Amino acid sequence: MPALITLTLASVHLLAGLILLIFSAWFIAACAIAVPGFNYLLPAVVVRALALIRIAAGYGYLYFGHQHMLQRLGRLRLGLFARLQQQRILDRAASTEAMSDAIDTLANAWIAWISQLAGSVLMLLIALITSAFYSPAWFGFIALLSAMVILLWLHHYRQSRGIAAQRADARSAFEQRSERYFQAAPLWHLGAASFQMPSADKVWDAELREQHAINWHLLLLQAGSMALLILMIWMQDDSAQGHAEFLIPVMLLLAARDWLANGFSANQAWVRDQHANTQLASLPLQPLTRKTAPDPVTSMQIKELKPDGRPVAPVSMTLPASGICLLRGSSGSGKSSLLQAIAGLIPASGSREMDGIPLPNGLCDAMRYVEQFPQCLNGTLLENLKVANPDLTEPEAFNVLHAVGLGYLTDLHDWLGVGGRRLSGGELKRLGLARAKIADRPVWLVDEPFEGLDQEYMHALCQWLQAQAQQRLILIASHIEPTALRIHQSLNLDDR
């Protein structure tokens, strides 16, 4: 419904502007030749009314277009989250780029191409209907112009699709090279030849080809309209050319490039919108299976477990039902990879067992993985917590926030992320632990919870983790071993 209302208001906005332009021109001409007693008040009222209608339709079109955009954005996010319930993103950078492109094109959809294309089509319809009823002699030429414009639009649309795909590929390659280039910043001093700054020439070339395609089709449109104008003048008799109404089709054909150019810009934006949606729909995802673990969990065994494609030696260990166990090791030793393999997030060889029952590859409902850098959704604080449990109540949310040291966040409806409150690295870690507490699983797998924390909060976090470990197993991967942490079992990957 918001889409239909928006399109209607956009059409009213365009028609009101067109009628206002024509009526104002007539009013100015009438005032110049008006006889005594001419009623100036009525035309002035009509001009004012048209202006108010145009302004109101413009604001209404923006309001309902914004509402429609938010609804589509909500469906887009929900659809993506639904796909990720049983799947894992393999390329986070590609997914971020695809989501960003989809949001950008969606946010600009009404302004960039829907209203522009609707305006051009509406102008063609008005010209066809007016010529059909007012002067059938012009109808053939306006119909030929319409057919030519539609063919040029279709050809430009097809050409733009190929250029948009090349532009997206060039942009993706440039961003990947740029990321590798900046990651190697500490090594730049070793030699400029080894670390050349990536070039964006292919991206700019694609942008220029897009603009050249628009200019070329506009040139064809202008040449075709001039040819129709010459043909119309040549076919009309001298008596018809003497009427003032003859100037209407003449002006339409002379200005065809101006009032139909928006259709080609709309084509380009439309193609980008379609390509962004296609990229989002074809994200590389890895299917994840889920296994329901026995309840309660009394022990967990890991036998010769080794993440695929990681330089980590196979690991075997038996873990208790409760307490804190530590995977130690220096940076790059494979702690995070091993923790993700135990969680079932990445493929691995070997086996995992709970109470002697083998677990298949994939996720297990008994485990909760807390990543090193938890993701903060662009949403409210409560929505970020409900990721772990959709049935979470506000009193429960306040209790968990106080428990993890985020009690100063008193507004659960405060917006987080882009356009709202930015969480620090320590706050993000606490947000991840809060989600783990809300999910209430018997096994927590926590990746680097102490990195970047001061001594005071590290001590408080150790006390809280020890309280939680009385009723569950907490397996921590960390190169930091706080003295305040009581560890039941540890494994040093550097010794293997």
If you average pLDDT over residues 241-269, what whole number do you get?
73
- In the chain the domains, ranked by start, together with CATH numbers, are 86-286 (1.20.1560.10), 292-495 (3.40.50.300)
Dihedral class, residue 363 (left if φ above 0, else alpha if ψ from -120 to 50, else beta): beta
Supply 376's token pair: 């903060």
Looking at residue 474, its pLDDT comes to 92
Selected residue with higher pLDDT from 154 and 24: 154
If you average pLDDT over residues 372-376, what whole number do you get?
84
Does residue 247 carry a pLDDT above 70? no
Cα 144 versus chain centre, distance: 40
Tens-digit pLDDT profile for residues 100-127: 777 777 766 666 566 677 777 877 888 7
Looking at residue 293, its pLDDT comes to 63
Looking at residue 291, its pLDDT comes to 65
DSSP conformation letters of 269-321: HHHHHHHHHHHHHT--EEE--EEPPPSS--EEEEEEEEETTS----EEEEEES
Looking at residue 312, its pLDDT comes to 78
Does residue 188 carry a pLDDT above 60? no
Looking at residue 278, its pLDDT comes to 80
Quote the mean pLDDT of the chain.
Answer: 80
Is the preceding peptide bond at 296 cis, omega within 30 degrees of 0? yes
Does residue 319 carry a pLDDT above 70? yes
- Report the alpha-carbon distance of residue 474 to residue 300 in Å, rounded: 12
If you average pLDDT over residues 34-39, what whole number do you get?
70
Q: What is the pTM of this model?
A: 0.57
